[in-house]
Structure formats: structure tokens, C-alpha cells
A and B are shown apart, each in its own frame.
Chain A
Amino acid sequence: MKGKKERLFKVTPAPQLHGGESIPRVMWTVMLALLPAFLASLYFFGWKAFQIEAVSVITAIFTEAVIQKLRGRPVTITDGSAAVTGLLLAFTLPMDVPIWLPAVGAAFGIGVGKHAFGGLGHNIFNPALIGRTFVMHSWLPFMTTWSPPRLAMYAQVDAVTYATPLGAAREAVISLVPSPDGIFSTMDMFWGSIGGCIGETSALALLLGGVFLLIRGYVRWQTPAAFIGTVVLLTWVLPVKEGAIALAPYHHLLGGGLFLGAFFMATDMVTTPVTGAGMLVFGLGCGLITSIVRLYGGFPEGVCYSILVMNAFTPLIDKFTRPRIFGT
């Protein structure tokens, strides 16, 4: 070696092999899983749905870039996480919202819901739902006006009197009560030809994406099973409040945001428990809160709040559902 320059080699900590999983791959796979619901939203709600989705996604990405620049952090908008937040937020908005509303929601969700807590991985609450909650409580009328899906125009109702299946039942709008031949047939709900937020109405599309994520392993069965199971069970056995019309459990199953929440929001990795047992508890809690809000609360829908409330319990659930250490 003397006289010759010694060759030095790159040193990295073990293990030297990596499986190739990455944050962008996780996030863009989730985006792919949202594709069927995205297409369904275009099909049922048309050009306006696309506008809402585009504004929400672009604002989410833009907000993330600006905040990361301001904080002097690397800009990570290509990892797909802001895009997922933006699209999920758009999915939870009705089609008649003014076009600035998704922008406000996305900026708030990313800015306050995500980056105020330290950015990706550090947020306690689902950023998309934080964004939705913010616009919901700031501009309630926009968020509770439902236009019929394009294919239901024959029902000849206007946006003011149109309603979601859950809302209709609560307000006891007799003419809109589900019936085999009515506006909200089970098949309509399954395909998505009903009133509701643009990304939540098609149970089929959401199920396709959800099953895809289950197969890819990014969603574990525990969360959706516990969440959906609890809602079906409780809405079936519990009495409704006075004046409201009792819906069959399958209306609760298909008529609101349950699939969107159970497959894509209660399964958000950052804000939900990490163990299978924890996911069962989380799903159970979500199902319980959703059912209580739907049956007895001030709003017809409770999926969003149930997830946010359970997000707050995630650290506690994680603490009490730690796996058993080998040999103990």
C-alpha cells in the first residue's frame, strides 16, 4: 500500500439490502386505488367534479411546496402524499361548492392539519378531514346542498330538495325515502347514482380500490372490517330518534361516506394504529361514533368526525396494543 493511494470504499450501516418499498410508492399506489372512485365521480357528477378535484389536489401540492420552502426543508411534493390529501378532500365535498372552497380546504388541511404538526409522519389528525371540517364549519350551507347525480335527473328534484339517503331519512322526507323503485334503490347506492359528496357515492368504485389496497398490503383488513361491521350492527339494532325514519343497515352501509372513510381514511397510516389489534379497536371506535352521530347527532353523517376523534386516541391505542415480545 505504501506510496500508492489507498482505495477507500463507501460505508453504509447494515443491512446492505433493501426491499425497495418507498414513501412515493405507497402514496402513488393509494392514488391508483382512488382512480375508480375518481372516474365514478366524473361519471356521476361530471365536469364540476373534475374541477373540484383538480383545484383541491393542486392547492394541496402548492401549499406543501410553499411551506416546505418557507421552513427551509426539502420540497417533497413528488412523494404523492399531498396529492392523496388533496384528492381525498375533494372526494368529501358536494358538487355544488364554490370553486374556491376546495382550495381553502386543501390549504388548511395541508397547512394546519399536516405542517403545523411537523409535516409528513408527524400529524395527529387526517389532513384531508381537517380540511373538510374547516370548510364544513365555516360554510355549512355549501356543504349541505346536494345536487342529484347526472343520471338521476329524471327524478326531477332540484338541488334544494335533493338529499343524500341518510339526510333524507333523518328529515323524514317521505317522498325521498328509499324504496325499491325510488330514487335510492340499493343498486343506485351500489353504483353511486345517488346524492352525496363527489367521491363517496359509488360503493363499487371504492370497494375496487379498497380491495386493491388490501391485496397490496397497504390496508389491513382489521380497520374496514371493524368499522363497517360496527356500523351495520349498531344501525341495525339501535332505535332511531323520534321523527326520523329507520333505515335498513344496507342503507347505512352504502348510502353515505362509510366506504370512503373505512377504506381510505381510517386506514391512513400516519394517523391510525400500527398493530392489528389496534386497528380493530380503532375501527370499532369509528363505527360506534359514526352510528351514534348518524342515529342521534346533529348531522346526518358521522364518518368524518368519528375518524378525527379516533385519530386522537391513536397513541393511546398503540400503547395498549403493543405486540408481545418474544420470550416474555
Chain B
Amino acid sequence: MSRLPTFKGGIHLPEYKELTEREKIKKLPLPPRVVIPLNQNVGSPPRPVVEVGRPVKAGEVIAEPEGPVSSTLHASVSGVVTALDLFPYPAGPDSLAIEIETDQNDSSPELIPSISDPSRLSPDEIRRKVLEAGVVGLGGAGFPAQVKLDPPEGSRIEYAVINGVECEPFLTVDNRLMLEETGKLLAGLRIIMRATGAREGIIAIEANKMDAFYKVQAVVHKEKDIRVRLLKVKYPQGAEKQLIYSLFHREVPAGGLPSSVGCVVQNVGTAIAIAEAVLSGRPLIDRVVTVTGPEIKDPGNFRVRIGTPFQYLLEAAGGLPDGEIKIISGGPMMGIAQATLNAPVIKGTSGLLVMRPVSRERNLPCIRCGECLRVCPIGLIPSDLGTMADKERWDDFEGLGAENCIECGCCAYVCAAGRDLVQLIKLGKAALASRKVQK
């Protein structure tokens, strides 16, 4: 095989995808209750429009967008609103959420008659439908999709890219979606191209998902303006800036957006959600989650309602093994360890991972081996960033370019001293941000 496109830096990881990559997406029965956090998107969280005690139908709006960068939330099940309160949240401290008790007569959301030809829709109509359906980036970041479909004034979008890289080990959501919902994926890409004016569509797939590659290739090979591109397997190939670099050798400027180099990137799941939103008016009330781990009895890919508690999801996969374990929401590189199973699936939850903790020495002194800076895809010096954050030398921390860090975790993965470099940098970035607010 000829040399596949890639980016600078990065690491080769064990993949562990074999646990679930052939598991067809299964629909999970409705949970007895769902907890829907308001904070599921980048920007301002939507404002709740239901009160406790109110009956709701699946697909009904329960929170409306607030401000220009926001999203919509819908009841993911039919039932009664039982609380608007602080609830466990998978990506941080307890967070304001709407709890709905399921009544089990799940009435489907009322769907608008389908539009067969999205090319008749104006870009504004597409964005309105996407916003109304509450579509955000499903890869984990939760960036409101309609904002990405609205390139800033003066930028010209050439390429609409579907990110089918899924470079995190263990996760197989996008792999399954590319295999099972190829038609919708293509429709989603067409809509993204229409909304952004992109002249070419690219579906980017890492070379460890050849089944998906052949399937997608078979569907799009007749389309003149859509190409499937195979990329070298290397982490973090799926990071937006690294993906754009691999495909087009263009660098998104530091602090800039992909639109500044003529690109818009949407994840596979997001593109499918966009297609459903625009073609059938279906709001984003469920998503596919990979539930996996070497000791999970029935690992698989499950389509679950947003707000489904992790506990319920894990029981569906055969329950937990005994002994000391770690629960990770997301992939093993960027996911967040959970202390309990009370947090719910949110729109950005791509996986639920059960691992054995491996004891190893952590946070020994740096021996300056330099591996972290050789693997950093951004060209930072993680060892120094970690030290500056540790010593709270914020000016130096910022001067080393801390804000460009994408928190991919390559540095900590290779660190011989076992330093929690990403954690130090994350804390440092938060401190920088709060310092700026104070000024």
C-alpha cells in the first residue's frame, strides 16, 4: 500500500476495537428514568421551558437555545418531569438537569413530512432545522452543529469533511454507523455541503476500518464531488486540526477555526443526526454508545436515549466484573473516569469503558527524555507546560502556547516519569481562563 496521509507527531496505540467492531447496533429498552443535563453543548446552555410535574412526549422541546451559540434539548422519553435540579454529570461536577420518569408508552416524536430533496432547502432553513433538532457534535466536543454550518463572514468553504477516523481505542460507534447507516451519512454530507457551499465532500476513514471504507466507497463511488480518503492509523488522527492537515496539508491557524482554511468538519454521528433533523425533523434524542472493556460480558454498540443512566447501560452489557475497576465515559485517551454510575449518557458520550486499574508510578521527576515533545501533534513542550502549571507560573505557561493544547494525551502516554501532564495542563488552562475573567 502506498504511504497513507498523516500528520506530525502522535502515537501508535493498541486498538481494542475487536471487542465491539462487529457488534451490530442494538436498541436498548427504555430506561425507567432519564436525566438530561442542560449543559451538553459548547456555548451557553439552553434555558429550560418545562416545570416539575409536567407530562412530556418524546421529542418535545424541554429547553430552548439561549444566545447565538447554544442548542435545543428535547425530552428523550415520554413521561413526567420529576425534577429540575443538580444531578451527577459525566464530565465534571454535578450539573443542572431535567429528570423525566418514563411512562413506557413511548409515543414517537411527531415527525414533519420528509423532504426528499435537500438541495431545495436554503442554507438558513437547514441551520434552523438543525438547531431545532438540537444537533451538536457527537464526537465529544458538543459544538452546536448549526454554528459550524454557518461559516463566518468572508470565509469560503471548499471542503466538507466527515470525520470517520474514530482514533480512540475501544470505540466503534462511527465504524458501525458507517456500515449500517451509510445512506443517511451520505445524505448528511450532502446537506452539510449545501449549507456551507462546499464544492467537495470528503469522508475520512482510518485504515483500521476497511469494512467501513469499502462500504462507504461502494455507496459514494458514483458521486463526482464526494471522495473517500483513507488515512494512516495514528492517534490523534481524528483531532480536527490533525485531520485537516493530513487531508489537505493545511494548518488551521492557532486559535482559528477550520473555516479559515476552507474546511468544515463534522463527525459521522453528527452528519447522520443532521440528515435526520433536516429530512424528517427528528430531534436528537438518542445516540449510539460503545459499551466495552476486556471483562465486560456482552460488549456492544447500543442506541440509547439521551439521559440514560450509566448504571442501566452497563446492566444491558452484562453488568460489572468484581474487584477494583475503573469506569470511563468516552475513550481511554480523552475520556473521563467516573466515581459512580449515576451520571447519564449525554449527546457527547461516545463510549462507556470498563477497565482494570494498572498500578504504576505517577508524577516522578521529569528526566527530560523529550518524548512528550516528539509526540505532541501541536509542537508544544508538554514537560515544561506541566512544570509551569505545577509551579503556577502562569505567564510562562501561557508563553509556551498552553492554549493550543488539544488535550489528546499523547504526552502522558509516553511519559517515562508517569507525569499527569494533560491533567496539569487542563488545570493550568482553567486557571488561565479564570485569571483572564478577573482582569
Contact = CB atoms under 8 A, between A and B. Distances in A.
B241 interface: yes
Contact of B367 (A1, A19, A270, A328): A270
A11 B334 contact: no
Nearest to A326: B378
B379 A18 contact: no
A324 B377 CA distance: 11
A51 interface: no
B416 A21 contact: yes
B201 interface: no
A327 B413 contact: no
Contact of B379 (A7, A26, A326): A326
A327 B404 contact: yes
B336 interface: yes
A174 interface: no
B340 A22 contact: no
Interface string A300-328: 00000000000000000000001111111
Q: Which of A17, A122, A328 has the most CB of B within 10 A?
A: A17
A15 B339 CA distance: 16
B430 to A, nearest CB: 13
A23 B422 contact: no
A121 B254 contact: no
Interface string B377-394: 111110100000000000
Nearest to B353: A16
B339 A11 contact: yes
A15 B341 contact: no
Contact of B366 (A1, A12, A121): A121
Contacts of A26: 367, 369, 416
Interface in B392-417: 400-401, 404, 407, 409, 412-417
A17 B339 contact: no
Nearest to B424: A13
Interface in A1-59: 1, 6-19, 21-23, 25-26
Nearest to B255: A327
Contacts of A16: 326, 328, 332-333, 335, 337, 353, 355
A18 B418 contact: yes
A229 interface: no
A17 B338 CA distance: 16
B169 to A, nearest CB: 7
A269 to B, nearest CB: 5
B325 interface: yes
Contacts of B14: 17
B211 interface: no
A269 B370 contact: yes
A120 interface: yes
Contacts of B252: 327
B70 to A, nearest CB: 27
B253 interface: yes
Contacts of A22: 360-361, 416, 418
B251 A21 contact: no
Nearest to A218: B369
Chain A interface, >50% SS class: loop
B326 A14 contact: no
A185 interface: no
Q: Which of A12, A81, A218, A270 has the most CB of B within 10 A?
A: A12
B371 interface: yes
Interface string A270-288: 1010110000000000000
B423 interface: yes
Chain B interface, >50% SS class: loop
Nearest to A119: B365
Contacts of A1: 342
A324 B404 CA distance: 12
Contact of A325 (B320, B341, B380, B412): B380
Contacts of A326: 8, 241, 245, 251, 254, 377-379, 404
A15 B333 contact: yes
Contacts of B11: 19
Nearest to A324: B379
B233 interface: no
Interface string B342-378: 1000000000010101101100111111110100111
Contact of A15 (B251, B367, B401, B422): B422
Contact of A13 (B332, B379, B420): B420
B370 A9 contact: no
Interface in B239-253: 241, 245, 251-253
A15 B409 contact: yes
Contact of A327 (B251, B400, B414): B251
A6 B340 contact: yes
Q: Which of A14, A18, A270, A272 has the most CB of B within 10 A?
A: A14
Nearest to B412: A15
Contacts of B416: 21-23, 25-26
A325 B252 CA distance: 11
Contacts of B320: 7
B117 interface: no
Contact of A269 (B342, B369, B400): B369
A252 to B, nearest CB: 29
Contacts of B418: 18, 22
A274 B255 CA distance: 26
A16 B352 CA distance: 13
A269 B251 contact: no
A322 B379 CA distance: 8
B223 interface: no
A275 B417 contact: no
Given A16-B333, A121-B367, A269-B367, A11 B326 contact: yes
B235 to A, nearest CB: 10
A16 B335 CA distance: 8
Interface in B21-78: none
Contact of B413 (A9, A18, A325): A18
8 interchain residue pairs of minimum CB distance: A121-B365, A15-B409, A13-B423, A274-B370, A327-B254, A323-B379, A16-B332, A11-B337
Given A14-B336, A325-B404, 19 more contacts: A8-B339, A8-B340, A9-B327, A9-B339, A14-B412, A15-B332, A15-B334, A15-B413, A16-B335, A22-B361, A23-B416, A23-B417, A121-B364, A270-B367, A326-B251, A326-B377, A326-B379, A326-B404, A327-B256
16 contacts: A1-B342, A7-B341, A10-B357, A14-B407, A14-B409, A15-B334, A15-B413, A16-B326, A25-B416, A121-B364, A121-B368, A275-B373, A323-B380, A323-B381, A325-B379, A326-B404
Interface of B: 8, 11, 13-14, 169, 241, 245, 251-256, 320, 324-328, 332-342, 353, 355, 357-358, 360-361, 364-371, 373, 376-381, 383, 400-401, 404, 407, 409, 412-418, 420, 422-423
